[in-house]
Amino acid sequence: MTTSTTLSHIHQFVPATDPDRAPLLLLHGTGGGEHDLLPLGRAVAPGAALLSPRGPVLEGGMPRFFRRLAEGVFDEQDVIRRANDLADFVQEARESYGLAAPIALGFSNGANIAAAVLQLRPGALAGAVLLRAMVPLQSAPKADLNGTPVLILSGGLDPIVPDENAARLAATLGQAGAAVDHRTLPTGHNLSQADLMLTKAWLDQR
């Protein structure tokens, strides 16, 4: 495992032991860090290279990937800036570690920044698993996602992400050409065993 501050984001990198698997870009939720999703990454994609950056924005001392103005209200100019910064980091890491384009695996705030990267820099990611994601940009630019695979797992009892919002994100990405699989699970904002099983099954097909 490698901890690095030499690239633009503090991060953890775990080299692949199965070179046939696509690398994963692990993006934590609010208050997480670069270590948080490593166990999840190992569980759903055994042997894949894992690239796990720390969100560069602090909210009350808790790392995030972009600023928000209130719960569910995002600073969209900051979303745009940070999504581009993250896409640049992915390119730096690909060159440094010799990686193919990664599949993002993001939870909550991490899923939201991954969705923004898909819309703003569609070539940066080979796909995405968006766990409890919301619409990151109310007026997203037109993107050509050209069959990019995207799995969205929402919680039907989620108090943070309204059903309509998650459905709108899925529709927006689909209209941009992504191959979207959107499922709603009988759970809240927390992750469940079903999330792990569905994510692993989906990644096994990539």
For residues 9-41, b (16+ Cβ closer than 10 Å) or e, as one string? Answer: bbbbbbebeeeebbbbbbbbbbebbbebbbebb
Backbone angles phi, psi at 191, to 5 degrees: -85, 145
Residue 158 annotated among the catalytic residues of the structure: yes
Residue 20 annotated among the catalytic residues of the structure: no
Reference 176, options 147, 156, 202, 198; nearest CA is: 147
Residue 108 annotated among the catalytic residues of the structure: yes
Catalytic residue among 96, 181, 189, 192: 189
Q: Could you give the CA distance from residue 50 to residue 45 in angstroms, rounded to a whole number?
A: 9
Q: How many residues does this entry show for the chain?
A: 206
Q: Which amino acid is at 122?
A: P
Catalytic residue among 108, 154, 182, 195: 108
Active site residues: 108, 158, 189
